[in-house]
């Protein structure tokens, strides 16, 4: 007898799931339909999206979401948390009778910290509603055209993905935005939303939408005859910690805790309390985590050498380098795109032979979107980014994460490295530290993260300069890394390249000044590890290919003025908005 399509699929599923369970233990042994999801949705997940089985976190959390309970979900990066909320919400929405119509307004709201994540979640929602054409996903976010967003909101968006600032803007100013039927609020990367300073905005948003009960300030005006259901709120992140306590308490009602062990959470005076002990983070087991100790003056040459070694080892691969500032991204992007090196007499070669992309918050929205999509689809590329790419972004097949500028808190480290080794894939991460910063390793260890040392000498010795009979003094006596012949050669070439082009020199100077500012902005305990006064600013300048240290005085004041101007403009704008809203 011929096997049916579903039987054939079941056999394939069994085979692939056994393999997956053997290799990484990430997947559950049940199927999506065992979790109670609608058959069409399960078929779509399997046939069109290639998801044969739920991951363990999906198997545990999806039934909870279907049950209607509020939930707090903590699970490692790249384990499929987006589906944890989107699949059951779509399942519940498609079941409603009468059918949801877009004119009924928004039923589910997903709040995310960044524009790129907003686009990404929207893309997944679009795929998941494929067989339920009456459900309309949409997004609103900073940088987009407000008038177009207003028009989309007027037509109706059933599943709305939003960044908090822009959502608040529409709640205040778009009267046609109908959220009277809102049933779900999801805070994806909840801790990051708060870290970005959106705490007050979230409180205002919840005041508009009704925090736990689902009684929003529009509920009374509801025109549709749909039955009002109770609100269900969900909070998710790989690093849920004590910082989300307040948000959890105003938004969640007796939540189910998933991935947070009993010891890490308590109930005090009816208030949920996530304790410091929740700060131990799970990282993908297969992720190779290393650090490299580099004196400040050689940082740039070592970065370039590591990148060259990576792309020469495997021409086709994707690498992300995290930097602390937008100016830093711009400078390194220009440098890595244009820098050439004379390897032999009359032979000049491009130093890095790969596509180099950049991403940061000061770029125009269309350039940001282009870079984000570009890095998603490229088979081989290098992405230079600030922390806008650190959270939630799912770039396929990223092989290596380099944290050239150190992250702040351990949670930032976890999310940055989480862009690789996703869903059981291989991945490696490299953290740059100066000798005076190595206490940071201890800080990471307190959060359950431990790193091995990277074999830098071996990599540097492999470059051609040494193979041509040059002596390596570095090998014989323990002199500084700055004296390694390859590093000396490269540093000279970099300095002459940066000084030969005025535009490049300007980029380097700006990047230097911003870097010092960012270094000085470390908070709390980290201020004791990253101490500007311990740095030799001349060596910092060398790490931007500058022969001399630029003056910081005028710039620091100019930056301060710029910040103050910006603040003033913001206050003015808020006043205008408030006036409009109150009148
Ligand atoms: N059941 C599944 N089977 C196969 N692939 C899956 C499954 N669930 C999710 N994925 C894929 O796994 C990848 C990671 O998913 P997702 O981005 O939701 O992870 P995450 O846990 O939210 O990560 P982060 O914490 O970094 O935001 C995505 O490419 C997604 O398409």
Q: What is the mean pLDDT of residues 540-565?
A: 74
Ligand 1 contacts CB of residue 424 (under 6 A): no
The highest-confidence range among 22-36, 318-332, 442-456, by mean pLDDT, is: 318-332
Would you call the peptide bond into 98 cis, given omega within 30 degrees of 0 as the criterion?
yes
Tell me how far CA of residue 177 lies from CA of 22, 73, 156, 549, in angstroms: 49, 29, 8, 53
Ligand 1 contacts CB of residue 238 (under 6 A): yes
CB 289 within 8 A of CB 82: no
Residue 475 or residue 529, greater confidence: 529
Q: What is the mean pLDDT of residues 240-269?
A: 82
Ligand 1 contacts CB of residue 385 (under 6 A): no
Ligand 1 contacts CB of residue 418 (under 6 A): yes
Distance from first CA to last CA of the chain, Å, rounded? 74
Residue 475 or residue 33, greater confidence: 33
DSSP letter string over 359-419? E-TTS-HHHHHHHHHHHHH-SSEEEEE-GGGTSS---TTEEEEEESS--SSHHHHHHHHTT
pLDDT of 139-167, one tens digit each?
999 999 999 999 999 999 999 999 999 99
What is the SS3 assignment for 512-531? HHHHHHHHHCCCHHHHHCCC
**Burial (Cβ within 10 Å: 0-12, 13-18, ≥19) of residue 460:** buried
pLDDT of 461-475, one tens digit each?
888 765 555 555 555
Q: Is pLDDT of 569 > 80?
A: no
Ligand 1 contacts CB of residue 82 (under 6 A): yes
3-state DSSP assignment of residue 130:
coil
Strand partners, 235: 72, 187
pLDDT of residue 11: 43
Q: What is the ipTM, given to two decimal places? A: 0.99
Q: What is the mean pLDDT of residues 263-268?
A: 68
pLDDT of residue 274: 76
DSSP letter string over 404-457? SS--SSHHHHHHHHTTSSGGG--EEEEEEE-GGGTHHHHHHHHTT---EEP-HH
Say how many CA atoms lie within 13 Å of 14 toward its Cβ.
5
pLDDT of 302-353, one tens digit each?
999 999 999 988 878 999 999 999 999 999 999 999 999 876 667 788 899 8
Q: What is the mean pLDDT of residues 558-564?
A: 57
- Which ligand 1 atom minimizes the distance to the CA of 50? 4
Ligand 1 mean position to 185 CA, how many Å? Answer: 20
Q: What is the mean pLDDT of residues 376-386?
A: 96
- Which ligand 1 atom minimizes the distance to the CA of 53? 1
Q: Is pLDDT of 278 > 90?
A: no
Q: Residue whose CA is closest, atom 30 of ligand 1?
A: 80
- Mean pLDDT of all residues in the chain? 86
Ligand 1 contacts CB of residue 392 (under 6 A): yes
pLDDT of residue 291: 98
Angle CA 337–341–346, to nearest 5: 130
Beta strand residue intervals within 242-285, DSSP E: 256-258, 265-268, 271-274
Q: Is pLDDT of 412 > 70?
A: yes
Ligand 1 mean position to 139 CA, how many Å? Answer: 20
Angle CA 240–243–249, to nearest 5: 90
pLDDT of residue 560: 54
pLDDT of residue 476: 52
pLDDT of 76-126, one tens digit each?
999 999 999 999 999 999 999 999 999 999 999 999 999 999 999 999 999
Token representation of residue 271: 């208030």
Ligand 1 contacts CB of residue 51 (under 6 A): yes
Cα 450 to its chain centre, rounded Å, is 21
Ligand 1 mean position to 84 CA, how many Å? Answer: 9
pLDDT of residue 524: 87
Q: How confident is the model at residue 580 (pLDDT cuts 50, 70, 90)?
A: very low
Of 158, 187, 164, which Cα lies nearest the Cα of 392?
187
pLDDT of residue 32: 97
Q: Is pLDDT of 18 > 80?
A: no
Residue 549 or residue 327, greater confidence: 327
Ligand 1 contacts CB of residue 78 (under 6 A): yes
Q: Is pLDDT of 41 > 90?
A: yes
């Amino acid at each position: 007898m011929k096997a049916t399509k579903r039987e054939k699929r079941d056999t394939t599923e069994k085979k692939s799931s056994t393999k997956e369970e053997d290799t990484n233990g990430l997947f559950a042994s049940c199927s999506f339909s065992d979790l109670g999801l609608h058959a069409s949705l399960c078929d779509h997940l399997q046939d069109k999206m290639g998801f044969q089985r739920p991951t363990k976190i999906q198997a545990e959390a999806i039934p909870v979401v279907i049950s209607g309970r509020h939930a707090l979900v903590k699970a490692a990066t790249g384990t499929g948390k987006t589906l944890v909320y989107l699949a059951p919400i779509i399942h519940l929405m498609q079941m409603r009778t009468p059918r949801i119509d877009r004119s009924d307004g928004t039923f589910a709201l997903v709040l995310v910290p960044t524009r790129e994540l907003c686009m990404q979640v929207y893309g997944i929602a679009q795929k998941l509603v494929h067989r339920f054409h009456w459900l309309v996903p949409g997004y609103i976010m900073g940088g987009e055209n407000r008038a177009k967003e207003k028009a989309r909101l007027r037509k109706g968006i059933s599943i709305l993905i939003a960044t908090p600032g822009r959502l608040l803007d529409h709640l205040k100013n778009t009267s046609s935005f109908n959220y009277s039927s809102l049933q779900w609020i999801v805070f994806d990367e909840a801790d990051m939303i708060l870290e970005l300073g959106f705490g007050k905005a979230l409180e205002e948003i919840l005041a508009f939408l009704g925090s736990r009960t689902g009684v929003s300030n529009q509920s009374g005006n509801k025109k549709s005859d749909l039955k009002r259901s109770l609100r269900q709120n969900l909070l998710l992140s790989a690093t849920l910690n004590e910082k989300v306590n307040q948000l959890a308490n105003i938004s969640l009602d007796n939540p189910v805790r998933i991935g947070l062990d009993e010891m890490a959470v308590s109930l005090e005076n009816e208030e949920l309390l996530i304790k410091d002990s929740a700060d131990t983070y799970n990282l993908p087991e297969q992720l190779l985590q290393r650090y490299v100790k580099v004196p400040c003056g050689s940082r740039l040459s070592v970065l370039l050498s590591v990148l060259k070694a990576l792309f020469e080892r495997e021409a086709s691969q994707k690498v992300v380098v995290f930097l602390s500032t937008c100016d830093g991204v711009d400078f390194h992007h220009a440098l890595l795109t244009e820098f050439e090196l004379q390897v032999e007499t009359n032979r000049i070669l491009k130093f890095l032979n790969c596509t180099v992309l950049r991403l940061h918050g000061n770029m125009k929205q269309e350039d940001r979107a282009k870079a984000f999509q570009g890095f998603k689809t490229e088979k081989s590329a290098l992405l230079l980014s600030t922390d806008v790419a650190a959270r939630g972004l799912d770039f396929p097949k990223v092989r290596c994460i380099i944290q050239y500028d150190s992250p702040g808190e351990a949670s930032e480290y976890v999310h940055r490295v989480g862009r690789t080794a996703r869903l059981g894939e291989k991945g490696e991460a490299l953290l740059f530290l100066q000798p005076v910063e190595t206490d940071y390793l201890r800080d990471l260890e307190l959060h359950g993260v431990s790193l091995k040392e990277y074999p830098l000498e071996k990599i540097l010795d492999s470059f051609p300069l040494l193979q041509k009979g040059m002596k390596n003094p570095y090998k014989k006596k323990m002199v500084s890394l700055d004296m390694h012949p390859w590093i000396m050669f490269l540093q000279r070439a970099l300095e002459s390249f940066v000084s030969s082009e005025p535009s490049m020199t300007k980029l380097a100077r700006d990047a230097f000044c911003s870097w010092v500012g960012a270094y000085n902005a470390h908070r709390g305990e980290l201020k004791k590890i990253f101490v500007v006064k311990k740095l030799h600013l001349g060596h910092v300048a060398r790490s931007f290919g500058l022969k001399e240290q630029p003056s910081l005085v005028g710039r620091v004041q100019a930056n301060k003025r710029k910040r103050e101007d910006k603040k003033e403009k913001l206050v003015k704008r808020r006043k205008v908005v408030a006036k409009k809203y109150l009148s």
